[in-house]
Amino acid sequence: MSTKAQPHHTPLDAKTLREAVEAHQRYIAGRSGGRRLSLTYADLSNCALEGVDLREADFAGANFTGASLARANLAGAILFGADLREADLRRANLKRADLRGACLRGANLANAELPGCDLREGRIALQDKLDGFRIIRHEHRAGELNYAVLTGANLSGAQMAGAVAMACDFTDANLSGAMLAGAKLTRAVLDGADLSDADLAGADLTGASMKRTVISNAILDQTRLDDVDLSDVLRAPPPVFYVDERPLGDILVEHEAYCDSNGARGRVMALSAVDFRPMKTLKGRRFTGLVAPGSIFFGLDLQGAHLQGADLSSCDFRGCDLKEADLRGAKLAGSQFTRADLRGAKLGPLTIGEGRFVRTDFTRATLRNADLRGAHAVRARFLEADMTGAHLAGADLTDAEMEV
């Protein structure tokens, strides 16, 4: 009986790799001498490719073990059956990448872009002169995500049916609309993750942590949830939210009338733990001085909303559109703004008299991966705030109270 050849990878020296990458850059730019990068079954272990534009490159079956690919552009790349164990892929762009059968055990994909990616199981067949076709098998199951870090990653619409992701960290990840049917997610961390409209039918979540996880309209048929921590999980909103037997919409109209008439009509509303999601949108609405601590605004359009001096402490603003919103002097202590869009928002002090003002307060707020580019946050308080991955380019933070 013949001995089958073992899977191998083609070694590359630094010069050959550099020349191949340079030719690919010319190919992307449409310049003469360009050539699409094709390094199938290549040994790229421990290579340094941070920030490199590798769009549409073919890396099928390649070995990227321990490689540094942080911020690399791998949009549309073929990574079918690639070995990416312990690779650094932080903030990498993997949109439309073919990751079927890729082994990502222990890889760091924090804040990576993977919308619509295909992470299903797959195997590569190679033709052998003696034995015909043989299958490349990694040491671990193909398609494996065990122990991978996907905190803050965008996996919306990802194809992960049957994926193996035991003890994987999906904290604050966007998994909305993802296909996770039959996935093995035992002991996975899904705290704060968005699983809206995801298909988890038949998935095994035994021992997982799902604190603050959004499961609105998620399919959970025959899903194993033994010993799962579901603290503060966010389910689908009611069709209409009532406050003292009155529809929330009517109450907000009354508050807005107060704001529009300078107090001549309507009245200021004091609410608590209200679910604003049934309103669908609050774009441009006027709710100055609103008191609604502990309320849910998750995913709402609040673009240009007037919320000056509002008490919105401990509220859920995850994924909200707050572009150009006026939050001057608002109390936002302990609120969640993960992935919120605060570009151009007014977060400076609210003048309440000559020489007197109230600062916008983000004390102990969570602003992970929030977008504050161009925001006006003069004198704002960010004490003990979690601003991991927040985008602050162009933000005016003059005299802002921040921990060093």
* Nearest-angstrom CA–CA distance, 126 and 73: 28
pLDDT value, residue 12: 86
Give the HSE-up count for residue 103: Cα atoms under 13 Å, Cβ half-sphere.
20
Nearest to 275, CA basis, from 227, 241, 323, 313:
241
Calculate Rg over the CA atoms of the chain: 25
pLDDT in tens, the chain (404 residues): 333 333 568 888 889 999 999 999 999 999 998 999 999 999 999 999 999 999 999 999 999 999 999 999 999 999 999 999 999 999 999 999 999 989 999 999 999 999 998 887 755 545 454 554 444 444 444 458 999 999 999 999 999 999 999 999 999 999 999 999 999 999 999 999 999 999 999 999 999 999 999 999 999 999 999 999 999 999 999 999 999 899 999 999 999 999 988 888 888 888 999 999 999 999 999 999 999 999 999 999 999 999 999 999 999 999 999 999 999 999 999 999 999 999 999 999 999 888 899 999 999 999 999 999 999 999 999 999 999 999 999 999 999 999 75
pLDDT at 217: 96
Query: Do residues 138 and 103 make contact, with C-beta atoms less than 8 angstroms apart?
Result: yes
Nearest CA among 109, 72, 79 for reference residue 93:
72
The span from the CA of 291 to the CA of 140, in Å, is: 53
Whose tokens are 């007037």? That residue is 306
CA 60 to chain CA mean position, Å:
26
Query: Which two tokens mark 265?
Result: 């009509």
pTM over 0.85: yes
Residue-range domain boundaries for the chain: 238-404
CA distance 50 to 69: 5
CATH fold of the domain at 238-404: Pectate Lyase C-like (2.160.20)
Angstrom distances, CA of residue 366 to CA of 176, 210, 306, 389, 397: 20, 17, 21, 11, 17
What's the Cα-to-Cα distance from 65 to each of 108, 138, 143, 353, rounded to whole Å? 12, 12, 15, 62
Half-sphere exposure at residue 185, Cβ-oriented, CA atoms within 13 angstroms: 28
Output the six-digit token pair for 385.
């705030």
> Which pLDDT belongs to residue 144?
82
- Whose structure tokens read 């321990």? 66
What confidence score (pLDDT) does residue 404 get? Answer: 59
Q: How far apart are CA 89 and CA 231, in angstroms?
A: 30
For 311-349, b/e burial (b = at least 16 CB within 10 A) is bbbbbbbbbbbbbbbbbbbbbbbbbbbbbbbbbbbbbbb
Closest CA to 84 of 171, 94, 76, 157: 94
